[in-house]
Amino acid sequence: MIRSKEDYKLYLEADRISLGLEGKRIPLICTEERHVIWKHQRLLRKLEYYTNCKKGFINKVYRRLLRHLYFRSQVKTAINIPVNVFGPGLSIAHIGPIIINSKAKVGANCRLHVSTNIGMDGREKEVATIGDNVYMSIGTKIIGNINIADGVVIGANSVVTRSVDEENITVAGAPAKKISSNGNSFPSNRKGYDIAKTKM
């Protein structure tokens, strides 16, 4: 969670690296999908910073404006990610429907694809807690109050309804089961949080 301006800068840099972007600037006219995603993620992080760290009337008014702009971006991109869910190094692969429950907690260097959903199972109000370096393929559904260990890869169109306690494995299917002992091997140059924290 962003708790200071230093955290805010760290999260932004980690996200930028994880997205594979060379520069920090967003083109005035976006012609690439990744620039639209970067704009969305930057707005998310700014809203998190002002939500967690900035108080007072003026900041309250500005925070309301940020919420409005972020809501418009959510509608435009169909990426519905609440504040304070994802750790640094978030990488959204493509524009498309992503729905994340506000009570979910996800670690650093997470990779998300379209049609990912993290939500409740209808029996309790708590939702998933997900570790670092987790890769969620297209159509991943993570349902209920479960835990996902570090380095887990979740295969395309998988439905995860039970905790995955073993690190660095691949699970797939509906319901998801272990299919491989090989987990997420992020390229070293895309582990945004690992790289960014050495610079700060």
pLDDT digits (tens, 9 = 90+) for 19-67: 988 877 777 777 788 889 999 999 999 999 999 999 899 999 999 999 9
pLDDT digits (tens, 9 = 90+) for 10-30: 999 999 999 988 877 777 777
Candidates 86, 79, 47; CA nearest to 65 is 47
What confidence tier does 200 reach under pLDDT thresholds 50, 70, 90? low
